[in-house]
Structure 1
Amino acid sequence: MEFKDGSIIYPLPDDTLLSEKEGKWRIKLPEAYKEFIKKYNGGTPIKDSFKCNNHIYAIDRFLCILKVTGERDDEYYDIGVVRTQLDERIVFDENLVGTELLPIAVLFAGDFVCLDYRTNKEQPRVVVWNHEESGDLDPVTYDVSNSFSDFISMVE
């Protein structure tokens, strides 16, 4: 996968930061995703389209993983920051401890690609979260693929 020049956000996350985020979110990130984010943190892909639910979606950019300090403008694209902004719109149960939907990419027009941990905590599916159809504690998602690796192979 190729990315637009200057779109990758530095510093790239290392294993220590990824492990810290996994603990905070109470999930295990797929190995393929960890290898991807360690190379292409927050990047904007040149080939950016994929099909889902009889619709063609365009990836605006992948989200990044940073140590958030509040000192950088590009922290707006950090997964944790986006997750907090979406708050109850990506949560099914307000008493849930941990993460069920983890946004990993911003789509054109406000939807997100998410890792979906609802049915399998070890191997999350990839879904599109629809912002227009979703309400508080009632996120609407569409299945894209069974794994992050499969998702990446779909992007054209």
Structure 2
Amino acid sequence: MIKGNTIPVIISDEIIKKRERNWRKQLPVEFVEFIKEYNGLIPEKKININTDIVIERFLCLVDSISESEYAENDIDVIITKYDEYMVFSEDSIGADLIPFAKLNRDKLLCLCYEKDEPSVVIWSQDGSKEFIPNYSIYTDSFKEFLAKIEAI
């Protein structure tokens, strides 16, 4: 269990399904459960991913981006901001990297759909180019990611 402050927005199954359609990806069950409980969470204690990389906050989903005070941290807003730096080719259909946490040093934790089962990667704006995202694998699955951060 991660302690911290979440945003007061309840995530419905309808919102999840809408985002999955937009991204053309099926989210891992563990991720859906996580975001429903920890939507936009700012951790109370530091969560170190590596020795010099820390989770600053988890991103969120909001019902209406244009009307929400939390929109700047909505996953779709972040995808739009970095757009072609988070896909593997100009022919990609849907999202290849789906960010879910902001890290320090201009990095993001993302679900990576390079394979059928998404891994969790650390994406860096530094070094990313159009259609060539700069990332490294952190865990092979979101389930493994949860086990790793709960052990911290």
The TM-score normalised by the length of structure 2 is: 0.91
Query: Aligned partners of 1:141, 1:69: CA distance in 2, in Å?
Result: 27
Q: Quote the residue 1:141 is aligned against.
A: 135
Aligned mate of 1:59, from 55, 58, 66? 55
The counterpart of 2:38, out of the listed 28, 40, 46, is 40
Q: What RMSD in Å do the two structures reach over aligned CA positions?
A: 1.3
Seq. identity, %: 33
| Deviation by residue 1:111-143 (Cα, 9 ceiling, x = unmatched) | 0000011112xx200000011111111101101
Moved >4 Å (runs of 4+)? none
Q: Check if 1:25 corresponds to 2:40.
A: no
Instruction: Say if 1:41 and 1:62, in contact at 8 Å, map to a contact too.
Output: yes
- Contact 1:2 1:47 survives alignment (8 Å): no
Mapped partners of 1:86, 1:147: distance in 2: 23
What is the distance in 2 between the residues matched to 1:44 and 1:115?
19
Structure 2 CA distance, aligned partners of 1:133 and 1:39? Answer: 33
Q: Is the 8 A contact 1:50 1:154 kept in 2?
A: no
Q: Which has the higher contact order (CA 8 A, sep 6+)?
A: 1
- Structure 2 Cα separation of the partners of residues 25 and 138 of structure 1: 19
Aligned residues: 149
Q: Distance in 1 between matches of 2:89 and 2:42?
A: 32
In 2, Cα distance between the equivalents of 1:124 and 1:2? 22
**Letter paired with 2:29:** E
In structure 1, the residue matched to 2:122 is: 128
Q: Who is 1:50 aligned against?
A: 49
The runs of 5 or more residues in structure 1 that have no matched partner are none
Offset of residue 151 of structure 1 = 0.8
C-alpha displacement at 1:3, in angstroms?
2.6
Question: Structure 1 CA distance, aligned partners of 2:81 and 2:63?
Answer: 17
2:10: which partner in 1? 12
Asked if structure 2 preserves the Cα contact closer than 8 Å seen for 1:43 and 1:61, the reply is: yes
Match of 1:87, SS state, is helix
